[in-house]
Amino acid sequence: MPQLWQGRASKAVDSRVNDFNSSIRFDARMIEEDIQGSLVHSAMLARQGIISGADLEDIHKGLRSILEDLHSGALDIDPAAEDVHTFVEQTLTARVGNAGKRLHTGRSRNDQVALDIRLYLRGACADLQAQVKELIGVLCDKAQESAGYVMPGYTHLQRAQPVTFGHQLMAYASMLLRDLGRLQDAAARMDAECPLGSGALAGTTYPLDRFYTAEQLGFAAPCRNSIDGVSDRDFCIELCAAMATCMMHLSRLSEEVILWCSWEFKFIELDDAFTTGSSIMPQKKNPDVTELIRGKTGRVYGDLNTLLVMMKGLPLAYDKDMQEDKEAIFDAVDTLALCLKTITPMLATMTPLPANMRRAAAKGFINATDCADYLTKKGMPFRDAYKCTGTMVAACIAADKTLEELTLAEFKQYSDLFEQDVFAAIDLTACCEGRTSYGGPCKESVLAQIAEVREKIG
């Protein structure tokens, strides 16, 4: 295909420069958005009397035929085209003649690509939000099922205090709920301003109706500054930052799943359909899905860094460096979508093992704080209660016992404040159910969290 700028140059561009300059291999995915923008732009041109009604009819007929042929497979995107915009315009002109040459009136590829990528990411962002909601829903389902499964809560990866498996899962649901909010915020800012009509950077002398095109394309208004309209990629960076944060949460959850399904923990069993085996060790059941998510998180971080570094030193307005935005943001979108698509059914089919959780909780002295609180409520200063309980824990470790296995007589060796009710106070289930503060691990609290989160995701 000939270059759109032919006429200025005295010789053809070297083929190696053409290959280096071309973006068709990655921006071809925006072809539907490109056609959508062209349909609205041409309709506006006709409304403003800039092109004739006959030209508009030919342009719309040609654009729709391109779209139909792409969907049917009758038309393939030419890999030799410089970019998707060039391919559409030149294919249209080949089909409808001079009317196709008038489509680009009052428009530059600079504002065209700024529009296309916004439209594409708007759709991608909506899909990601739906996937995040689905994952949150699965976490809520699993949390409801396991709201009473006592397990150790950890700090420093050391057993700390009793929680429930449902409580732990709802922590991740809360993280993902914030991710959903960040995606929604990014989409809202993306929808706020339409760059179409900014031209190359300085607008145009044609009497464009930018408010019409903005409204027809679903934007709140046209961008207020034409230079910013073509040079802004904040929306890519903001969306990628939201996706990187979501990947970080998926990676943290993946790390927990990897620990939980190991023989050292064995709190869960992953379904065979979401694990792999070993080529040499027949006993292995590997959590490859979660390991790959951990690895792919770094990839999305890299995409975000690419966008930030690409933009940090660019003068206004459009620079060819900005062509690099698409590969990075598209890779981030694809990676997050793939991870969400895979981790959701993996979690939906996993089997919690509450007996193992309870056993680990009992051996971890995670009711030590409750034992100290018991003494404090009986009148002992907390620091004295803390020291007394610590001494008891040290003795239990030496004797290979748990606090629950001590007799009342053994308790009284440490303090006369201990009575028969100490056993109820340090019972692991009672310890969880006694933590009734808002957001805590008691079953009522976990169920309330689930209900609130379900309401937020609709």
Give Cβ neighbours of residue 22 (< 8 Å, ≥ 6 apart): 81, 82, 83
Give Cβ neighbours of residue 68 (< 8 Å, ≥ 6 apart): 74
Residue 15 bears catalytic tag? no
Q: How far apart are CA 152 and CA 367, in angstroms?
A: 10
Residue 104 bears catalytic tag? no
Q: Are 229 and 195 in contact (CB under 8 A)?
A: yes
Q: How far apart are CA 327 and CA 343, in angstroms?
A: 24
- The amino acid at 100: G
Name the catalytic one among 52, 71, 262, 278.
278
Q: Which two tokens stand for residue 124?
A: 């991608």
Using alpha carbons, select from 454, 453, 429, 455 the residue that is nearest to residue 442: 429
Give Cβ neighbours of residue 279 (< 8 Å, ≥ 6 apart): none
Name the catalytic one among 156, 167, 231, 254.
156
Question: What share of residues in the chain are helix, strand, coil (percent, to 5)?
Answer: 65, 5, 30
Q: Decide the pairing of beta strands 193-194 and 221-222.
A: parallel
Residue 218, sorted as left (phi over 0), alpha (psi -120 to 50) or beta, turns out to be left
- List active site positions: 156, 278
